[in-house]
Every structure is written in structure tokens, then in C-alpha cells.
Structure 1
Amino acid sequence: MTAPQSTSQAHQHRLRQTLVDAPFVKITGPTGDWIVFSEPTKTSNLTPEHIAWLCNRSSGVGAVGVVLMTAASPSAQYPVSDLEAWKSDGTPAIDLIEAARAATYALAALQRIPDSETSHHVFKAATGIITTVYTPTYVGVDIGQWSYAEPDTAIAAGSDALVMAAGLTDPRPGLSIRTQSLHITIAVESLDELESIDLTQSPSVEPSVREPTGVNFVVPQDPLTIEGMGQLALRHHPAVPGNLELGSAAAAATIAFQLWAGLTQPHIWNVSTLHGDIVVQLHEDRRVSTFAALSTVFFGRL
């Protein structure tokens, strides 16, 4: 006799059946682990329920987010792939920097591109075009141009907000910078103070922000440079719980620190985070790109 399924088990079975035989690769990097689907043409119709089930670490595969990549023709000189990404709660990801990074690495993991050669890639997403570079040691993403949220105030005063966080003894001035998504960066005095901040509680910002805004806490490392590369440490509170925006957060924190320190060099900074290092490169015309190492967790099929 077969034991009857619970309502929850039956629902999960139906979700699994709609994606039966769909292959995927699980990729991990500074923002956590991603489930990446790559299809020649879009055949999977991923719903919020599918995403939440896939990301569930008890009943599903387990991940911080899901990426769906419709692969471009390998014969194209500059292949353009369609890119979609979702957070673990099933809502669309807004900041797609880390999704594009995971998708690029997945191309090599799935042997769609040579994993021992450098290659360039273009993704078309709801937020616009994202360009990436794959190398055997890292994946780079061009974030594009950055901007101050309040240019006049930022340049004149170096700050445009006041931020208080649990663990700090007093409010700190912050600087708002848009690096695809909006971030307010605050300098702290030491690594000990950085580690004392309780990010389980949302920082308060004055004046109140008008849109979802990440909050970054940054401190220079000692020494400040190693072999010509700047060294920073970062902790980040996302704009919305589950937002996967650490790359753009590292970029905003680097830009803010350079302004405060009055530096024009170096152009490359290593930003240490709890989940790994992110390298930020500052270009002319206020362009910025980020680089990070990723790895394959496993391949699977639903």
C-alpha cells in the first residue's frame, strides 16, 4: 500500500514534474550559490513558485537565486544571450551584476566556451545590456557608468546622508552613489568597529531614502595598497532582504572611499567581504567594473 502524499508533497511533486529533466549547474561566488539554467531556446516557464521551491534548502535544491540564460549562437562575433534572474523568494532580481557573473561562469562549467581561454560575453536583460569577461581565474562584469545621487552635495561635502546602525555609538555621514543600484557608503574607524555592526537590524538613514538603497560600511586595510592594488574591507546591508548586489556595493564603497581620501590612484581595489574578495576597477568617464572568482558546486537534473 502506498502512503498518501501530504498536500505540500503533492504540490512539490507537481512543481518538479513541470521542470522534469531540466539540467542545471549550481555556481557559488561572493554572493552565495546560484542555480543556473542554460537553454538553446527558452523552453522553461519559471514561475515564482518554481523559484521559491528550487531555492528552498530543505525541499528543493537550495540557492540564493536562480538564473535562466537563453544561450546565444556560438558563431556570432559578439554573442548576445538573454538573461533573467530571480531572488530566492521568487521575485525578479533587480541588480543583475552577480547573475550575469554566475551565467558567464556557467558557460565554461557547461563547456559552452573553453574554460582555459579568455572570452567576452553580452547579456540582454530587463535592465539593459550587460557585458562580461570570462578568464580561468575570475569573471568580470562591466557595471557601466556610476553617478552621485546628489552631485552638488557629494562633491562639496563628501556626504548627503546621516546613517545610524546597531553597534555604532553615533550616526555617521554617508555618501549615495548609484552603481546600477543605489548605495549609501559609510566609513568606519577600524576592522573591530566594522565587525561590531549588527546587520540583522536595518540601519536608519536621514533624510529618508526615496527608493530601495543598500548601505555599505567600509574601512581601509593595513597596508592600504599591496603591489599597487588598494585594499578595503566591506560589510553590506542590502536594499531589500535577499537582494544580491554585493558587486555593485563594492564598487560604490570604493568610489566613496577614493573621494574621501582624495585619491586618484590606484585604479584597482581589492574589497574583502565576508563571502570572498571582489576586485573593483575604476575606468575613465566614471565607468566601473568588478571581478570575482567563482566555482562549480555540482551539476544536476530535475
Structure 2
Amino acid sequence: MSTAIRFTKGHGTGNDFVLFADPDGELDLTPAQVAAIADRHLGVGGDGVLRAVRSRSIPEGGAALAEDPDAEWFMDYRNADGSIAEMCGNGIRVFTRFLLEEGLATLDDGETLPVGTRAGVKDVQLSRSGFQADLGRWRLDGSEPLVRAKNLHAARPGLGIRVGNPHVVVALASDEELDALDLGYLPVLEPEAPDGANVEFVVPADPLVVDGVGRIRMRVHERGSGETLSCGTGAVAAALATRHWAGAGAPDQWRVEVPGGVVGVRMFPAEDGEHVALSGPAELVYTGDLAL
């Protein structure tokens, strides 16, 4: 007997997702079902699948409610291959738009909506470009693997950064190098990342800073999804890495150009250390019914 779900397709700068509401946690899709939904030829198609479930109705939600009792909703995020991911920066903006459109939450100017994730509670606000999500503290993870990619003529050093999920950022010398990459193939890390990693390839603009805002271009191969048109946490990691390489005097605001558009990154002090926020659009494209 098949199960039917009502779904919505949405995207943030081309990073696209299939979303559905399961408030009481009654529908826990298998990895194979998620992969079938995300399949671009035989399913709806998407870089990931987002389930909106109340924090009290999913085991991981207990930690979210302990962190913030107002985190009613939990973003259960799965990659296109069905694997679980800790966080998704574009996804959380689209998830928030979905909650608002479905009447599951409200968010007025100046208010904050806390959303539970496997990387902790993330606070989302309205912004001029759509939504801004405070992704919390970040850290260098201490790794500097060599990175090999198809059509990159030599291995390049990467910088390991965690923004709730793992990233390795690689600096390239020119737009031509960036455009030549074939990210349909999985980049190879030496040594391998224990849990895998999203890999970002970055080119700084010339000049790097205009009116106090840093500017970079980026492409990404996402763990479990392949190359995507945008990766929110990847854009954050890329901006953090570029600021790290640029040294003292580098700005705390960045404009990150991805194949699907532009997102903003902002670093700012907080009580528990430096936080980083991601801003950008979130669009809902269509809804439908799907039989599993």
C-alpha cells in the first residue's frame, strides 16, 4: 500500500529541495525513498529533502528544545543520496519560507525564529534579500588536506572549516581555473575526511574588497549530492577561509557569487564567540502530491 505525501519544491539560489510537513513524526522516510524523491530523472528532483517535524516528535529534537524551548520546529535534512546531513544554510532559509507559507510559524520584522537542526538551534530573521540565518560559531578543524579535482592540473592545499558540517576550501588563481573544473567527479582529499566533506573552490575578485565588502566566486561539490548551484554553509566556509588567508584588516562582510546567484556572509561577535550569518533569497516553486 503506497503512502501519499503533499510536497513543495523550493530553492535558495538554485540549491533546490523537496519539502514536506510531518508535524508528529509519523513518516520517517528510508534513505532509498529519499534518494528516489531526489532523483532528477525518476523522482521530483532536488539536492536534498527537508522534513518539517516538531522537535518534540524526533529524537534529535530533545537537544534542540534543551538549547531553546521555543525551537518548535526541527529541520530534518537529507542529502540527495538519502544520507543525513547536520545542516544546510540555503535549506534553512527555504525551510523557514515553507513554515511561513504553510501557516506553521510566523515571523515579523525584528523577530527571530529558532529552528532545530542536528548542528544545534539556528536563528532565522527576515532580511532585505529574503532571510538571514545565524549559523552560530565556526572553527578551523586543523586539517589542511591536498585536494585533487578533475581538470585541476595539480593538487592544491585545502583548509578544513566546520560550520556545523564539514568543509574543505581550496583557493584557485583565476576564473578560468574555476570554470574548467569538472565537479561531476568527486574531489579527492589526501588524507580523506573521516566523515566526508563539502569541497569549495574559490576565486577572489580583483579588487578583493569594494566599499568594505569582500567579494569571491565559488563552486562546490556537496557531500552526498554532487555539484550544486549553491551551498549556503559552503559560501560561509569560503568567506571565512578567504578572510583567514587575507589576514589582518580583511572585512567581516562578504558577497559570495555562486552559479545560482549571490548570497551574503557576515561575521559578528557574540557572547560565546564569533558567529557567522548567511543571507539570501528563498523561493517556493510548486506543490504536488507524491505516492511513495
What amino acid maps onto 2:261 in structure 1?
G
1:277 aligned partner, one-letter code: V
Q: Is 1:277 matched with 2:265?
A: no
CA pair 63-165 structure 1, distance change in 2 beyond 3 A: closer
Q: Distance in 2 between matches of 1:272 and 1:25?
A: 26
1:251 is the counterpart of 2:246: no
1:186 aligned residue: 170
User: What TM-score do the two structures reach when normalised by structure 1?
Assistant: 0.78
Match of 2:100 in 1: 108
Identify unmatched segments of 5+ residues in structure 1.
Answer: 1-13, 155-159
Structure 1: distance between partners of 2:19 and 2:255: 27
Instruction: Give me the whole-angstrom Cα distance separating, in 1, the residues matched to 2:36 and 2:209.
Output: 44
**Deviation per residue, 1:197-246 (Å, 9 max, x gap):** 22223333333433312222111113423433211001112234459782
Quickly say closer, same or farther: Cα 1:167–1:212, change in 2 above 3 A.
same
How far apart, CA to CA, are the structure 2 residues paired with 1:28 and 1:282?
24
Structure 1 stretch 49-58 or stretch 245-254: which is displaced more? 49-58
Aligned-residue RMSD, C-alpha: 2.9
Residues 1:210 and 1:86: Cα distance change in structure 2 (over 3 Å): closer
Aligned to 1:65: 48
Q: Kindly provide the amino acid, as one letter, of the partner of residue 18 in structure 2.
A: I
Q: Deviations over 1:231-280 (max 9, x none)?
A: 10011122344597821211111111112111434211011111222211
Return the letter of the residue paired with 2:277.
S
Distance 2:25 2:148 in 1: 45
Count of residue pairs brought into register by the alignment = 275
1:46 and 2:25 correspond = no
The answer to whether the 8 Å contact 1:132/1:142 transfers is yes
One-letter code of the match for 1:200? Answer: G
| More displaced stretch, 108-117 vs 223-232 | 108-117
SS state at 2:245 partner: helix
* Selected match of 2:280 from 283, 289, 292: 292
Deviation, 1:136, is: 6.0
Q: CA 1:166–1:35 in structure 2 vs 1: closer, same or farther (change >3 Å)?
A: closer
More strand per residue: 2
SS in 2 for 1:257: helix
Rounded to whole Å, the distance in 2 between the matches of 1:215 and 1:182 is: 9
Aligned to 2:139: 147
Aligned residue for 1:286, secondary structure, equals strand
Q: What is the distance in 2 between the residues matched to 1:146 and 1:267?
A: 14
Q: Distance in 2 between matches of 1:188 and 1:250?
A: 15
**Preserved contact between residue 6 and residue 20 of structure 2 (Cα < 8 Å):** yes
Structure 1 contact 143–179 (Cα < 8 Å) conserved: yes
How many angstroms apart in 1 are the aligned matches of 2:42 and 2:155? 42
Cα deviation per residue 1:70-122 (whole Å; 9 max; x = unaligned)?
A: 358xxx99452122122233332333433322210112333445687454211
> Tell me, what secondary structure is at the counterpart of 1:259?
helix
Aligned residue for 1:63, secondary structure, equals: coil
The one-letter code of the counterpart of 1:225 is V
Query: What secondary structure is seen at the aligned counterpart in 1 of 2:16?
Result: strand
Q: Partner of 1:268 in structure 2? A: 253
Residue-by-residue CA offset, 1:97-155 (whole Å, 9 max, x unaligned): 333222101123334456874542112233432222234632222222111122xxx8x
